[in-house]
Amino acid sequence: MNRALIRKTLFIIAIVLASAFAILRAPLRLGLDLRGGISLILRVKVEDASPGQQRDVVEQTRQILERRINAFGLSEAPVQPYGSRGNELLVQVPGITDSSRIRSMVQKQAVLEWYSVEEGPYSSAADAMVRHGGIVPSTRKLVATKAEAGQGRSWYLLDSRPVIRGTDLRDAQVSADAMEQPVTTFTLRQDAAARFAQYTEANIGRRSAIVLDQEILSVPVIEDVIHDSGQIRGARNREEAHDLAVNLRSGALPAAIEILQERTVEASLGADSIRHGLLAGSAGLVAVVVAMLLYYRWAGANATLALLLNGLLLIAVLSCFGAVLTLPGIAGAVLTIGMAVDSNVLIFERIREELRAGKSSGAALAAGFSKAFATLVDTHVTTVVSCVFLFFFGTPAVKGFATTLVIGLTTNLFTSVFVSRVAFDWELSRQRRSPDLSIGLAR
pLDDT value at position 436? 66
What is the 3-class SS of 239-303, one letter each residue? HHHHHHHHHHHHCCCCCCEEEEEEEEECHHHHHHHHHHHHHHHHHHHHHHHHHHHHHHCHHHHHH
Burial tier of 267 (Cβ tally within 10 Å: 0-12, 13-18, 19+): middle
Residue 229: strand pairing partners: 187
Neighbours of 273 (CB within 10 A): 20
> What is the predicted pLDDT for the residue at 257?
84
Render each residue's pLDDT in the chain as its tens digit; 443 residues.
Answer: 577 888 888 998 999 999 999 888 888 777 777 777 788 888 888 777 677 778 888 888 888 888 777 766 554 556 888 877 778 888 887 777 677 777 877 777 777 888 999 888 888 888 888 887 788 888 888 988 887 766 778 889 998 888 888 778 888 888 887 777 888 888 888 888 888 889 888 988 888 888 887 888 888 888 888 888 777 776 777 877 877 777 777 776 777 788 888 887 776 666 776 777 778 778 877 888 888 888 887 788 888 888 889 889 988 988 888 777 777 888 888 888 888 888 888 888 888 888 888 788 788 888 888 888 888 888 888 888 988 888 888 777 788 888 888 998 889 888 888 888 888 888 777 766 656 666 765 44
pLDDT in the model for residue 270:
63
Beta bridge partners of 94: 37
Strand order in the sheet with 257-265: 79-82, 88-94, 37-44, 257-265
Q: Considering the chain, tell me which residue range(s) the CATH 3.30.70.3400 domain(s) occupy.
A: 37-107+258-265
What pLDDT, on a 0 to 100 scale, did the predictor assign at position 432?
62
Please name which of 377, 333, 372, 339 lies closest in space to residue 353, comparing C-alpha atoms.
372
Q: What backbone torsions phi and psi does residue 317 show, to the nearest 5 degrees?
A: -65, -40
Pick the CATH number of 112-252 from 3.30.450.20, 3.30.1360.200, 3.40.50.150, 3.40.630.10: 3.30.1360.200
Parts of the chain belonging to CATH 3.30.1360.200: 112-252
At a CB cut-off of 8 Å and minimum separation 6, what does 430 contact? none
Q: For residue 44, what is the enclosing H or E element?
A: strand 37-44
389-439 confidence digits (pLDDT tens): 888 887 777 888 888 889 988 898 888 888 888 888 887 777 666 566 667
Query: What is the assigned CATH class of domain 37-107+258-265?
Result: alpha beta
CATH (one of 1.20.1640.10, 3.30.460.10, 1.10.260.40, 3.30.1280.10) for 3-28+267-429: 1.20.1640.10
What stretch(es) of the chain map to CATH 1.20.1640.10? 3-28+267-429
- Condensed to tens digits (0 to 9), the pLDDT of residues 298-352 reads 788 888 888 889 889 988 988 888 777 777 888 888 888 888 888 888 888 888 8
Q: What angle do CA 272, 274, 275 make, to 5 degrees?
A: 65
